[in-house]
Each structure stands twice: as structure tokens, then as C-alpha cells.
Amino acid sequence: MSNQQDNKTAKQALAVPETVLLSTQERIEFIANLIADRIAADEAEDFVLLKKIKAVHGTKQIIA
């Protein structure tokens, strides 16, 4: 059983996300796309997530 666990741990250690190979610009675009996709999904769900965020953090606006 120990050998099986060691093999599983070794395989997990070798797993590298594809995002590690992305340039900084590509990472920014990747994250921006994730955010945009989540906003679109939230909009399709009648802004459930946005309502939860507003309930916790209010509607304060930060003026720069």
C-alpha cells in the first residue's frame, strides 16, 4: 500500500498546470477571461454572486 501511495504522490508532483508556461501577458489575459466568463455566468443567474458580494461588502465605491 505504501508503494501505491508513493506512486500517486509522485504523479501529483509531476502535474504542472498549463498556466505555468504562459507569459505574463498571457496570464493576465487568461485571468481576465476567467473573470469575464464568471460575470457572464452570474448575469445569466440573475446576479446571484453579485448580490452575495454586495450583502457582505456593501456598495462602497473607491475613488482613486
For the chain (length 64 residues), average pLDDT per consecutive 10?
61 71 93 96 96 88 70
pLDDT at residue 7, as a whole number: 62
pLDDT at residue 43, as a whole number: 96
Closest CA to 39 of 28, 47, 27: 47
Delimit the domains of the chain by residue range.
20-64
pLDDT at residue 61, as a whole number: 72
pLDDT at residue 51, as a whole number: 94
pLDDT at residue 34, as a whole number: 94
